[in-house]
Structure 1
Amino acid sequence: METTKTIYNDELIKGWLKEIIKLVPGITSELSDDDIEIDEDTITITVVCKLGIRPYQVCLMAQSMIYYELSRWDDHHPYFINVIIKEIKG
């Protein structure tokens, strides 16, 4: 029996990432397409954090949620995830 592998395009991944980031506490605004950059095996996401939240915790939480969801799609997901805080708002 032949197995097939689903290929995910950038638009599908960006749409999915926008929904997942909404679940991360400490991120204040929704993502736009300009906030997500996909370059071969790296996904870079720039976010706006709330004031009073430790930025490293927000980044780690976002990364772990994204990796978890990617692993549900495919055990061999090829992406590295970078979360960059572009601004902290009160």
Structure 2
Amino acid sequence: MKNVIKFVAIALVAVSVSSCATVFGGPITDYQRTRPAAGEPQREIRVGALVADLLLFWPGAVIDFATGAIYKPHPSATAANK
């Protein structure tokens, strides 16, 4: 029984920290959250975070896409913060 509890605890920790862009990507902007309208350019994906999600724990990619954290922030927003 102890081994089952340890396994479940480790699995829960792995799931909670596995979405790399959500955890390490910084604050999520409105640009990342909203879908582009028809005719607008598509948002760029953070390739490094996507690869890390797929290698470490693929459901983390689902979380990152759902939160919008997998997308790069708007270029003008990053230039304004510097």
TM-score clears 0.5 = no
Counting strand residues as a fraction of each chain, which structure ranks higher?
A: 1
Counting helix residues as a fraction of each chain, which structure ranks higher?
A: 2
For the pair shown, the structure with the greater C-alpha radius of gyration is 2
